[in-house]
Chains A and B, each alone.
Chain A
Amino acid sequence: MTSPMTPPVTPPVTPRLDPVAPAPSRVPAALRRADPAVATAFGCIVALLLLGSLYSTSFLSPDYLLQQLQVGSFLALVATGLMVVVLLGQIDLSVPWIVTVGGMMSTAAAGHGAVGTALAIPFGVLCGIGFGLVNGFGVAYLRVPSMIFTLGVDAVAQGLMVLKTGGSAPQDMATPLMRDLATGRALGPVPNAVWVWVAVGAATLFLLGRTTFGRAVYAIGNREGAAYLSGVRTRRVTLVAFAISGGLSALAGALLAGYSGKAYQGMGDGYLLPAIAAVVLGGTSILGGRGSYLGTTAGVILITLLQSILSVVQMPDAGRQVIYGTVILAMLLLYGRGNKVGG
């Protein structure tokens, strides 16, 4: 995607329609395209760390930072899936209970002998993909607004999980592999969970940047009608995007079960708002069509640090909620509106 710098002698094309033409400048293309939101998010991360280091020098220690990344990796998985859906101009509000589905179904599979234990994580993820497909079907084919449909699916998932734990007492202990992935450090000092994040992040970068699917996601988010008239199967793309979101939420749930040793109801409750916040803070337009994975990564780190610092200074939960909400609204006001060209 690198392009030769515009030589200053070239007469610029007269911007006749919309004043969105970037003025020819001497800044390299890569920097020129840097999203101000992403830069702001990284700036905020540095500011938070410096602020924290005034409180305690341990905020800058590698141990603390790696631990934050480990905690943040669960949020990162959820936010990654959510970002793909948000890029389409949709939203997935079924995150909390699909995280729980992922945790509870993978631990339940582990109760079925050695095969069950081996397939615990794939089974949990598969269940998440299943719920994601239902979401995608409702939004793409039945044309129900995603905000309503995914909320309904969230409630259904909740009911099913309560039903399941109410009747019998299924296995709820995490498998050794789940624990190991969530808490272990197999390769040097970096926690395994961070490696999972890196792997999923690399796959997402590739998916969004280098595949026809990724191009279609951005196109649909920008102008679904034009994408459809370009002969792209827009409904199928939407379906797959929701499936990805469901699968990644469930994977986060499985790892989270490994982190806390067991799966439990409501384990995904704290993930919806932070995930939306991370995606929005990272500069992804809530209207779809614009956003980079780098930004979402920055958003996840920022939210995780914010959570950590708020808990270190012993901010009560209610206060944290107020701060999240305020931060999301502030970012929406700054970046979320009015930037759509020709909208």
Chain B
Amino acid sequence: MTPPLLSLSGIAKRYGATRALDGVDLALHPGRIHAVLGENGAGKSSLIKCMAGVVQPDAGTMTLDGTPVRFADPAAANAAGIVCVFQELSLIPDLSVADNILAADPPRRFGLIDRREQRHRAEELLARAGAEDIHPLALVRDLPLSRRQLVEIAKALGRRPRLLILDEATSALTARDVASVFRVLKDLRRQGLALVFISHRMGEIAELADDCSVFRNGRNVATFPAGTRSDGEVVEMMIGRDYSHAYPAKPPPVPEATPPALAVRDLGWGDRLHGLSFAVRPGEVVGLGGLDGQGQRELLLALFGVLRGTSGEVRVDGRPVALASPADAKAARNGIALIPEDRKTEGLMLPMSVRENLSFASLGRVSRGGVIDRGAERRAVDEMVQLLAIKAADLDVPVASLSGGNQQKVVLAKWLMTRPRIVLLADPTRGIDVGTKAEIYRLLRRLADEGAAVLLYSTDYAELIGCCDRVLVLYGGRIVRELAGDAITERALVASALNMNGAEAA
């Protein structure tokens, strides 16, 4: 084998208390496609960011062609021939394909953009990317998603990469487009490029990769030639994490006959949600599993009345309901609460006081005719602060001054004050400390014991296993598997999240 183009040794990266990368060794060879696998949060994106110069590793060395390198920013990595194609498309819709492809460094004559030369170069690059049929002067906006991805690759090729990193570059594509992207990637491999390919689709990895690396908890747990391990073995490597959180004991399952608090039938939204049907009974904690971005967020937003144009039927306590806005969902007759994903922009008004934030969703309960009863407000707020043990020096300080865990408790408390019967949670423990996490788990269980129906989306499999009575696994906007009781194992979750047992969706 040729000597590696880029090799990493002992790379470490921390964000606060989180260890994103912990002593990673990796060697990338020219003319080979290296697949990187791992769960959500295993360190894949941190790895890419380190290689692409987006962040700088705290420790370890990167060696390019045998010389140690350190990239101060993405431009430096680009200059060294390391180029990324990200999953989120970075194209400007209202510019032409040619403009986009050569956006960073357009050919110039007398200081002005040389349009003819630009078009010529764009045509060449598109041809290399296997997209000769795309007209360089077409607007990116008019291209379908899969074509845009090819333009994205052409754009990356325009930077003359020696190492091309594709971060879930195929996740938006249909099977036919995947095939054409693969032809291009194999072509590039023949031309001697080193490729790093990140995907959650096992089938793609089997077809494309020469080498595989599995990441877990920020470590590269194994690197092996593709095809030498079975799918089962790969999953085995991805899981096997230590359980360090204390989860409350689960009660016996709620009887099937209990009428559901929330029943959803055939829910759909655009091309993001397809035919979702499920029910959540009072007293149950139901998890939403699967890889990040398979429609879990959209499902919660749809149930909270945020999305326009959903199809299908939602029943609350057996009654069909039309949820046109969060105000509808919150109304006493529905009693739905959503703990949103991003507490800083969706959950809280950061500059406002802790007190104002806490009572904001339930002002209707402590006011009469629109006039706030401040005594009632104070009592309700104080009760919640005690119940959740929110630590604040003073309830009149801005909520922004609290720690992340306490901010999250404020968001939870704010919604508990509305006395919800259906609680939707979008990854409520992301980025908060272990102690607060355990408190939140206990709180969820208590809510359920008091008769609430809880729907919990989490990117942390351990959390789903520890907290949930049942887990619905989503893939491509569909429920591909339902796990209950002891069947909720990390192995089953990972396998169904990768949709290995079911038919390949879309």
Contact = CB atoms under 8 A, between A and B. Distances in A.
Contact of A290 (B351, B356, B364, B371): B351
B350 interface: yes
B271 interface: no
Given A226-B348, A230-B326, A231-B327, A29 B396 contact: yes
Interface stretch (B220-228, B386-394, B438-446): B386-394
A337 interface: no
B326 A218 contact: no
Given A212-B372, A226-B347, A231 B397 contact: no
Contacts of A289: 349, 351-352
Nearest to A230: B361
Nearest to B331: A231
A13 B346 CA distance: 23
Interface stretch (B398-406, B451-459, B479-487): B398-406
B351 A340 contact: yes
Contacts of B346: 225-226, 229
B402 A215 contact: no
A72 B403 CA distance: 45
B474 to A, nearest CB: 22
B330 interface: yes
B404 A16 contact: yes
A15 interface: yes
A225 B401 contact: no
B374 A223 contact: no
A229 B400 contact: no
B350 A223 contact: yes
A215 B350 CA distance: 14
A212 B364 contact: yes
Contact of B349 (A18, A33, A212, A222): A222
| Residue of A6, A226, A227 contacting most chain B CB atoms (<10 Å) | A226
A14 B330 CA distance: 34
B361 A13 contact: no
Contact of B391 (A13, A21, A342): A13
B323 to A, nearest CB: 11
B325 interface: yes
Given A3-B394, A222-B350, A290-B351, A211 B367 contact: yes
Contact of A223 (B325, B345, B406, B418): B345
Contact of B372 (A17, A29, A211, A226): A211
Query: Interface of chain A, helix or strand or loop or mixed?
Result: loop
B363 interface: yes
Interface string B305-327: 01000000000000000000111
B351 A341 contact: yes
Interface in B291-344: 304, 306, 325-327, 329-331, 338, 340, 344
A339 to B, nearest CB: 8
A90 to B, nearest CB: 17
| Residue of A226, A228, A231 contacting most chain B CB atoms (<10 Å) | A231
Nearest to A2: B396
B396 to A, nearest CB: 5
| Residue of B327, B329, B352 contacting most chain A CB atoms (<10 Å) | B352
B345 A13 contact: no
B34 interface: no
A18 B400 contact: yes
A341 B350 contact: yes
Nearest to A221: B349
A13 B393 contact: yes
A14 B403 contact: yes
A210 B371 CA distance: 6
Interface string B398-436: 101111101100000010001000000000000000000
A66 to B, nearest CB: 33
B379 to A, nearest CB: 15
A281 to B, nearest CB: 20
Interface of B: 304, 306, 325-327, 329-331, 338, 340, 344-352, 356, 360-361, 363-364, 367, 370-372, 374, 391-398, 400-404, 406-407, 414, 418
14 contacts: A3-B394, A13-B392, A13-B403, A17-B403, A20-B398, A21-B397, A24-B393, A215-B356, A226-B349, A229-B306, A231-B331, A232-B327, A341-B350, A341-B400
Given A13-B406, A226-B345, 13 more contacts: A13-B402, A14-B403, A16-B404, A18-B350, A24-B393, A210-B374, A211-B367, A211-B371, A223-B350, A226-B348, A341-B398, A342-B344, A342-B351
